[in-house]
Homo-oligomer: A and B are copies of this chain.
Amino acid sequence: MKLYDAMAPNPRRVRIFMAEKGIELPIEHLELMEGQSRKPEFMAKNSLGETPVLELDDGRYLTESIAICRYLEHLYPEPTLFGKTAEEQAFVEMWTRRMEQLIMGPFGAFGIHSFEFFADKIEQVPAYAETQMRLIPKRWAWLDTEISDGRPFIAGDAFSVADITGAATLMIASFISYEIPADLKHVSAWANRI
Binding site for B on A (CB under 8 A): 47-48, 56, 58, 60, 62-64, 66-68, 70-71, 74-75, 86-87, 89-91, 93-94, 97-98, 102, 122-123, 125, 127-128, 131, 134-135, 142, 145-146
Contact = CB atoms under 8 A, between A and B. Distances in A.
Given A97-B64, A127-B128, A70 B90 contact: yes
A67 B94 contact: yes
Contacts of A93: 64, 66-67, 70
B146 A47 contact: yes
For the complex of A and B, 9 pairs with smallest distance between CB atoms = A67-B93, A71-B90, A128-B128, A67-B94, A74-B86, A123-B131, A64-B97, A64-B94, A125-B128
A62 B91 contact: yes
Number of copies: 2
Contacts of A91: 60, 62, 67
A63 B145 contact: no
A74 B92 CA distance: 15
14 contacts: A48-B98, A60-B91, A62-B94, A63-B94, A66-B93, A66-B97, A67-B93, A70-B90, A71-B87, A71-B89, A74-B90, A125-B125, A125-B131, A128-B128
Nearest to A135: B123
Contacts of A131: 122-123, 125
Contact of A90 (B48, B67, B94, B127): B67
A67 B128 contact: no
A130 B7 CA distance: 31
A127 B126 CA distance: 10
Contacts of A127: 125, 127-128
B134 A67 contact: no
A71 B146 CA distance: 22
